[in-house]
Amino acid sequence: MAGGLLTDLYELTMAASYLRRGMSGPATFSLFVRKMPPDRGYLISCGLADCLSFLEDYRFAPDDLGYLADEQGFDDDTLRALERLRFTGDVLAVPEGRVVYAGEPILEVTAPIAEAQLVETVLLNHISFQSTVATKAARCVRAAAGAQLIDFAFRRTQGIEAGLSAARASYIAGFAGTSNVEGARRYGIPAVGTMAHSYIEAFPDEDAAFAAFTADFPDRSTLLVDTYDTPAGVEAAIRAARRAGLPHLAGIRLDSGDLGALAVQARRMLDEAGMTRTRIVASGGLDEHRIADLTRAGAPIDVYGVGTRMGVSADAPYPDSAYKLVAYGDRPVMKLSTGKVSAPGAKQVHRGPDGDLVALRDEPAPAGTEPLLVPAMKAGRRVGPAEPIGVARERCAADQAVLPCEITRLRAPETGSVRLSARLRECRDRLRAELTARVARTPL
């Protein structure tokens, strides 16, 4: 997909107006989250890889231009300009998997203003959705306290591409695999699966179903035991393993009922049968809070299959994200809208022991800090090869490992300290005063 029409109409009309007037100066746009979603002390940055792929391939295909001419009435000069348009700008971004907070840039684009304007919608889409899901998944990983988690979300995500993105984002956040086969293939993630109730219902009884499955897949037989009666299902699973000559099953799965109590009962039955290596998998309406409850109760659950509530981040499905012009040419700009004041100028975020400092990009780095925004694209091309997903996964684990419990707790967390540098505050206050005075002087 060429990508030119993956935008909102007003982006196209603004770009057309810029192009008609020869406005081609460099514009810097900053993508950030205004405030933290409910019960979130931090966010996991995710989605950059898809942003960079989109920007590298950006163009208007002949069919796109035909639609803009025939259905939207764009003039020939604008169409010729769009036909030639490619993304030629620079991108500084927080690498995927890093912890970020509200009020600091996750990504900044500097490009001729029409280019930077047109890509807003897709960049916001990728970063907002994938960071939301990665954060939800990270909370589930923390709640599981060492148990494995598997992405079961594909059938309930709001669209096929969303399901693929959820598989990737959850793996970066620490999930062990995904049931989404295309997601596993595309991103190099382990594919994991068990069976559905329909499989068991297709046979005369559980014994027949389990016998067939263990015969066909002896090395990966995870049997779903709650179709009819869970304890009886566990007994049938044990019988199937013995008849197949298997010393243990790969696992049994519990998908309903009191998962904690059933896991205790199933563990006892499996251990008494000598199947101490058989893992217990739990699924069914799980999220970080239910997983945390099971963890606190000591439920002997080895693997959690987490679906809908992770894949759509049910309790906080979106962040209050924005993509705002902060500089045009050599002029810093900002908006003064109530509740949506933006800080002007191209920026850098310096992370240190006292929190994050948002500063103008040309300010020297304070001692003992590291920059969060790193070059990702120069003159429309990536600065290096695409990053392996495992690197982002390791980065995510490392960043979260040093977070205090006040930030990581699941209910009413605190959030990280984000401050503006003195120079940035001075620039903001001076520009705010100038803009306020200019508005006051403007005659009716």
Q: What is the pLDDT of residue 440?
A: 79
Question: Is residue 337 very low, low, confident or very high in pLDDT (cuts 50, 70, 90)?
Answer: confident
Residue 274, pLDDT score = 97
Lowest mean pLDDT among 170-184, 275-289, 338-352: 338-352
Query: Which of 108, 157, 87 is CA-nearest to residue 375?
Result: 108
CA angle 128, 132, 137 (to 5 degrees): 150
pLDDT tens digits for range 188-202: 999 999 999 999 999
CA distance 32 to 11: 19
pLDDT band at 9 (very low <50, low <70, confident <90, very high): very high
Q: How far apart are CA 357 and CA 46, in angstroms?
A: 21
* pLDDT of 1: 57
| H or E element at residue 390 | helix 389-401
- In DSSP terms, 340 is beta-bridged to none
Task: With cut-offs at 50, 70 and 90, classify the pLDDT of residue 444.
Answer: low
Question: What contacts 231, CB < 8 A, 6 or more positions away?
Answer: 265, 266, 269
Q: What is the mean pLDDT of the chain?
A: 97
- The model's pLDDT over 156-210, given as tens digits with 9 standing for 90+, comes to 999 999 999 999 999 999 999 999 999 999 999 999 999 999 999 999 999 999 9
Strand order across the 222-224 sheet = 177-178, 148-151, 303-306, 279-283, 251-254, 222-224
Residue 124: pLDDT band (50, 70, 90) is: very high
**Band of pLDDT at residue 390, cut at 50, 70 and 90:** very high
Q: Which residues pair with 352 in a beta bridge?
A: 355
CA distances for 75 relative to 15, 19, 31, 69, 107, angstroms: 13, 12, 31, 7, 33
Cα-based distances in Å from 143 to 6, 77, 293, 313, 409: 37, 57, 8, 15, 9
In 3-state terms the chain splits into helix, strand, coil percentages (rounded to 5) of 40, 20, 40
Supply the pTM of this predicted model. 0.96
On the question of pLDDT at 271 being above 80, the answer is yes
pLDDT at 373: 98
pLDDT digits 0-9 by tens, 218-246: 999 999 999 999 999 999 999 999 999 99
Residue range 13-41, pLDDT digits in tens? 999 999 999 999 999 999 999 999 999 99
pLDDT in tens, 68-105: 999 999 999 999 999 999 999 999 999 999 999 999 99
pLDDT score of 340 more than 90: no
Could you tell me the two tokens for 437?
A: 């005075």
pLDDT exceeds 70 at position 118: yes
pLDDT given at position 338: 86
